[in-house]
Amino acid sequence: MPFADISNENIFYSFSDSKSDDNLLLIHGSGGTHRHWPEKLRNLPRANVYAIDLPGHGQSGGMAVNVLMIMRML
């Protein structure tokens, strides 16, 4: 599976290429991964579907950051 280098972090994503002009980006919530989305949604026949793992989640590197963590640092 592919990774993208974004701000020096390896961000994992899955990609379903339907050769469509339409693209769909799936972004999970806190504590989730790209697998949060049902396989049928990740493989829509009429859209190119990208499902990412946010930093610190799933197969992505980096540290997960949330609002509470930022507030504690302040």
Where along the chain do its domains lie?
Answer: 3-73
Place of tokens 């469509």: 20
Give pLDDT, residue 6: 83
User: What is the predicted pLDDT for the residue at 7?
Assistant: 79
Half-sphere exposure of 46 (CA within 13 A, CB side): 0
Residue ranges of the chain with pLDDT lower than 70? 1, 66-71, 73-74
